[in-house]
Amino acid sequence: MIQFSPLTGTSADALNALLDDAFGTDRHMRTAYLLRKGMTAIDHLSFAILDSGVLVASIQCWPVRVDTAALILVGPVAVATRCQNRGLGKQLMQLMLNAATPQDPPMVMIGDPEYYGRFGFEAEGTSGWTLPGPWEPRRLLLRNSNMVTLPTHGMLGPAD
Protein backbone atom coordinates (compact mmCIF):
# COMPACT_ATOMS: atom_id res chain seq x y z
CA MET A 1 0.00 0.00 0.00
CA ILE A 2 1.45 3.36 -1.10
CA GLN A 3 1.46 6.14 1.50
CA PHE A 4 2.72 9.73 1.22
CA SER A 5 4.17 11.37 4.32
CA PRO A 6 6.37 14.26 5.39
CA LEU A 7 10.02 13.27 5.21
CA THR A 8 10.52 14.37 8.82
CA GLY A 9 9.09 11.06 10.02
CA THR A 10 11.62 9.01 8.05
CA SER A 11 14.71 7.55 9.68
CA ALA A 12 18.07 8.87 8.51
CA ASP A 13 19.26 5.29 7.91
CA ALA A 14 16.32 4.49 5.64
CA LEU A 15 16.80 7.74 3.72
CA ASN A 16 20.54 7.15 3.26
CA ALA A 17 19.88 3.59 2.05
CA LEU A 18 17.36 4.89 -0.50
CA LEU A 19 19.74 7.61 -1.72
CA ASP A 20 22.61 5.09 -2.02
CA ASP A 21 20.35 2.79 -4.02
CA ALA A 22 19.08 5.54 -6.30
CA PHE A 23 22.32 7.48 -6.84
CA GLY A 24 25.20 5.29 -5.66
CA THR A 25 27.42 5.46 -2.62
CA ASP A 26 29.60 8.13 -4.27
CA ARG A 27 26.68 10.57 -4.40
CA HIS A 28 28.32 12.88 -1.84
CA MET A 29 30.82 13.90 -4.52
CA ARG A 30 28.11 15.53 -6.65
CA THR A 31 27.86 19.29 -7.01
CA ALA A 32 24.33 19.31 -5.56
CA TYR A 33 25.74 18.13 -2.23
CA LEU A 34 28.09 21.13 -2.18
CA LEU A 35 25.13 23.45 -2.81
CA ARG A 36 23.25 22.28 0.25
CA LYS A 37 26.19 21.61 2.55
CA GLY A 38 25.34 22.50 6.14
CA MET A 39 21.69 23.22 5.34
CA THR A 40 18.61 21.59 6.81
CA ALA A 41 15.93 20.37 4.43
CA ILE A 42 12.78 22.49 4.16
CA ASP A 43 10.17 20.43 6.01
CA HIS A 44 7.04 21.61 4.23
CA LEU A 45 8.53 20.72 0.82
CA SER A 46 10.25 17.41 1.63
CA PHE A 47 8.27 14.17 1.35
CA ALA A 48 8.51 10.39 1.45
CA ILE A 49 6.62 7.62 -0.29
CA LEU A 50 6.26 4.42 1.70
CA ASP A 51 5.17 1.08 0.28
CA SER A 52 3.83 -1.13 3.06
CA GLY A 53 5.85 0.94 5.52
CA VAL A 54 9.12 0.77 3.54
CA LEU A 55 10.66 3.96 2.15
CA VAL A 56 10.71 3.69 -1.66
CA ALA A 57 10.95 7.34 -2.77
CA SER A 58 11.71 10.80 -1.42
CA ILE A 59 12.10 14.41 -2.38
CA GLN A 60 14.05 17.01 -0.44
CA CYS A 61 14.25 20.77 -0.82
CA TRP A 62 16.92 23.06 0.61
CA PRO A 63 17.48 26.79 1.23
CA VAL A 64 20.15 28.18 -1.11
CA ARG A 65 21.13 31.56 -2.52
CA VAL A 66 22.49 33.12 -5.65
CA ASP A 67 24.23 36.31 -4.61
CA THR A 68 21.74 37.70 -2.03
CA ALA A 69 18.60 36.17 -3.55
CA ALA A 70 16.93 33.29 -1.73
CA LEU A 71 16.12 30.16 -3.71
CA ILE A 72 14.91 26.65 -3.01
CA LEU A 73 17.13 23.82 -4.27
CA VAL A 74 14.94 20.89 -5.31
CA GLY A 75 16.50 17.48 -5.00
CA PRO A 76 17.38 14.85 -4.70
CA VAL A 77 14.28 13.23 -6.12
CA ALA A 78 15.05 9.60 -5.29
CA VAL A 79 13.18 6.46 -6.27
CA ALA A 80 14.34 2.97 -5.29
CA THR A 81 15.66 1.15 -8.36
CA ARG A 82 13.05 -1.60 -7.94
CA CYS A 83 10.26 1.02 -8.03
CA GLN A 84 11.40 3.19 -10.93
CA ASN A 85 9.21 3.85 -13.96
CA ARG A 86 6.04 3.72 -11.85
CA GLY A 87 5.45 7.50 -11.74
CA LEU A 88 6.65 7.97 -8.16
CA GLY A 89 9.07 10.76 -9.08
CA LYS A 90 6.31 12.61 -10.89
CA GLN A 91 4.01 12.18 -7.88
CA LEU A 92 6.70 13.55 -5.54
CA MET A 93 7.31 16.57 -7.75
CA GLN A 94 3.60 17.35 -7.91
CA LEU A 95 3.21 16.88 -4.15
CA MET A 96 6.11 19.27 -3.51
CA LEU A 97 4.82 21.88 -5.96
CA ASN A 98 1.33 21.68 -4.44
CA ALA A 99 2.85 22.25 -0.97
CA ALA A 100 4.76 25.36 -2.09
CA THR A 101 3.37 28.63 -0.79
CA PRO A 102 3.25 32.00 -2.58
CA GLN A 103 5.88 33.22 -0.07
CA ASP A 104 8.37 30.53 -1.07
CA PRO A 105 11.24 31.79 -3.22
CA PRO A 106 11.89 30.55 -6.77
CA MET A 107 13.11 26.98 -7.18
CA VAL A 108 16.31 25.75 -8.78
CA MET A 109 17.59 22.26 -9.50
CA ILE A 110 20.20 20.30 -11.37
CA GLY A 111 18.30 17.91 -13.60
CA ASP A 112 17.25 16.84 -17.05
CA PRO A 113 15.25 19.60 -18.77
CA GLU A 114 13.45 16.97 -20.84
CA TYR A 115 11.93 15.53 -17.64
CA TYR A 116 11.64 18.54 -15.33
CA GLY A 117 10.37 20.92 -18.02
CA ARG A 118 6.88 19.49 -17.51
CA PHE A 119 6.96 20.97 -13.99
CA GLY A 120 7.92 24.46 -15.18
CA PHE A 121 11.72 24.17 -14.76
CA GLU A 122 13.92 25.62 -17.51
CA ALA A 123 17.48 26.80 -17.99
CA GLU A 124 16.32 30.32 -18.89
CA GLY A 125 17.80 32.80 -16.39
CA THR A 126 20.60 30.60 -15.05
CA SER A 127 23.29 31.01 -17.71
CA GLY A 128 25.24 33.59 -15.68
CA TRP A 129 25.23 31.53 -12.50
CA THR A 130 28.13 29.39 -11.34
CA LEU A 131 28.28 26.41 -9.03
CA PRO A 132 30.89 25.13 -6.57
CA GLY A 133 31.65 22.08 -8.69
CA PRO A 134 31.14 20.63 -12.14
CA TRP A 135 27.77 20.95 -13.87
CA GLU A 136 26.24 21.11 -17.30
CA PRO A 137 24.73 24.56 -17.88
CA ARG A 138 21.71 23.13 -19.71
CA ARG A 139 20.87 21.11 -16.56
CA LEU A 140 20.80 24.08 -14.14
CA LEU A 141 17.05 24.67 -14.12
CA LEU A 142 14.91 27.41 -12.61
CA ARG A 143 11.21 27.61 -11.79
CA ASN A 144 10.30 31.21 -11.12
CA SER A 145 6.52 31.20 -11.33
CA ASN A 146 6.19 34.51 -9.44
CA MET A 147 8.71 36.18 -11.78
CA VAL A 148 10.92 37.32 -8.91
CA THR A 149 13.81 39.48 -10.09
CA LEU A 150 16.99 37.43 -9.68
CA PRO A 151 20.65 38.24 -10.26
CA THR A 152 21.86 37.50 -13.77
CA HIS A 153 25.28 36.50 -12.39
CA GLY A 154 26.42 34.97 -9.15
CA MET A 155 27.55 31.87 -7.30
CA LEU A 156 24.83 29.47 -6.25
CA GLY A 157 25.44 28.09 -2.76
CA PRO A 158 24.04 27.33 0.67
CA ALA A 159 21.90 29.96 2.37
CA ASP A 160 23.64 31.69 5.27
CATH number assigned to the domain comprising residue 120:
3.40.630.30
Model pLDDT, residue 21: 96
How many whole angstroms separate alpha carbon 76 and alpha carbon 21?
12
Q: How many domains does the chain have?
A: 1
Q: Given pLDDT bands bounded at 50, 70 and 90, which one contains residue 7?
A: very high
Using 50, 70 and 90 to split pLDDT, how confident is the model at 17? very high
Over residues 34-84, the pLDDT tens digits come to 888 889 999 999 999 999 999 999 999 999 999 999 999 999 999 999 999
Whether pLDDT at 103 is above 90: yes
pLDDT value of position 115: 96
Average pLDDT over residues 137-152: 96
Which residues span the domain enclosing 136? 2-158
Provide the whole-model pTM. Answer: 0.95
pLDDT number for residue 42:
97
Residue 34 is predicted with a pLDDT of: 87
C-beta separation of 73 from 62 below 8 A: yes
pLDDT average, residue stretch 3-17? 95
